[in-house]
Amino acid sequence: MEKKKYIFVLSHATQSPMEVIGLMKIATNMKAFDDSIELDFFLIGEGVQLAKKGTAETISMEMEGKQVNVGEMLEMISDFGVKFFVCHAFMPGFGLTKEDLIENAEVRSSSYLGELMLDGRIPFQLNL
């Protein structure tokens, strides 16, 4: 049986915490149910900010009667071995350098997203 592969595309960070939290919850649940799946994130546009050390901790919102913090979710997802591919084209616009990035982030070009899909990754994105 072929291994299931997914790439979650995040184009928002601080402007749409609902999108970030929604995708991270889905990703966490998928990995919890089936740890054998290949699942990573591709950060593009404003989403590259999530890979900056300390930024995720500043993003939160109330959900289901409690405060949900993106930094805590990012830590949980990282424990599953999920990578964050950061589109280098958007890094300068948000003042990011390689030195600013979280441990499990890799700088890639936007064409890498296409490579991942050609390799069989199923893209997933929310527009909330």
Structure confidence at residue 41 (pLDDT): 95
pLDDT band at 38 (very low <50, low <70, confident <90, very high): very high
Structure confidence at residue 88 (pLDDT): 96
Domains of the chain: 5-124 (3.40.1260.10)
Structure confidence at residue 9 (pLDDT): 95
Structure confidence at residue 128 (pLDDT): 64
Mean pLDDT of the chain: 91
Q: Does the pTM of the predicted model rise above 0.75?
A: yes
Q: What is the mean pLDDT of residues 8-22?
A: 91
Cβ(46)–Cβ(10) below 8 Å: no
Query: What is d(CA 36, CA 4) in angstroms, rounded to the nearest whole number?
Result: 8
Structure confidence at residue 1 (pLDDT): 59
In percent, how much of the chain has pLDDT > 70?
A: 98
What tens digit of pLDDT does each residue of 90-113 get? 999 999 999 999 999 999 999 999
What tens digit of pLDDT does each residue of 41-71 get? 999 999 999 999 999 999 998 988 999 999 9
